[in-house]
């Protein structure tokens, strides 16, 4: 079992596989996703902020759906800030002992 923390409500819980949403929030997240898909069908050229404003969903959550591959990138409606390269992970070579 993995100890998981829900990124939406902060609740900690155990799951067989690692996840970042508790069951309640997973359900909410599904509803959100449905709304976004419906909105994009009506307004295909919206960006994450417009979706967020219209549906009253945090832009962060809209982008998370994109990151998870739940929304097709082919819509071409999202703009993402590229991640900072993580130098901590690859910067310092390990000292062989």
Q: Which stretch binds Zn ion (CB under 5 A): 9-17, 36-44, 54-62, 63-71?
A: 9-17
| Nearest approach, Cβ of residue 53 and Zn ion (Å) | 23
Which string of x and - marks every residue 21-60 that binds Zn ion (by CB under 5 A)?
-x--x-----------------------------------
- Tell me if 4 contacts Zn ion by CB under 5 A: no
Kindly state the smallest distance separating residue 7's Cβ from Zn ion, in Å: 8
DSSP state at residue 8? T
Please state the φ and ψ torsions of residue 46, each to the nearest 5 degrees: -80, 150
What is the token pair recorded at 27?
Answer: 């359900």
CB of 8 to Zn ion, least distance (A): 5
DSSP 3: E
Structure tokens at 84: 């900072």
Residue 35, burial from CB neighbour count under 10 angstroms (0-12, 13-18, 19+)? middle
In what helix (H) or strand (E) does residue 38 lie, and over which residues does it extend?
A: helix 23-42
Q: Shortest approach of Zn ion to residue 19 CB, angstroms?
A: 10
Binding site for Zn ion (CB under 5 A): 6, 8-9, 11, 22, 25
């Amino acid at each position: 079992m993995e100890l998981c923390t829900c990124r939406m409500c902060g609740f900690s819980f155990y799951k067989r596989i690692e996840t970042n949403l508790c069951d309640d929030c997973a359900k909410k997240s599904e509803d959100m996703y449905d709304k976004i898909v419906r909105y994009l069908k009506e307004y295909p050229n919206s960006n994450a902020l417009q979706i967020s404003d219209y549906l009253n969903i945090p832009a962060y959550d809209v982008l998370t759906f994109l990151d998870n591959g739940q929304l097709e990138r082919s819509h071409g409606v999202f703009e993402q800030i590229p991640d900072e390269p993580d130098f901590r992970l690859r910067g310092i070579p390990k000292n062989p002992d």
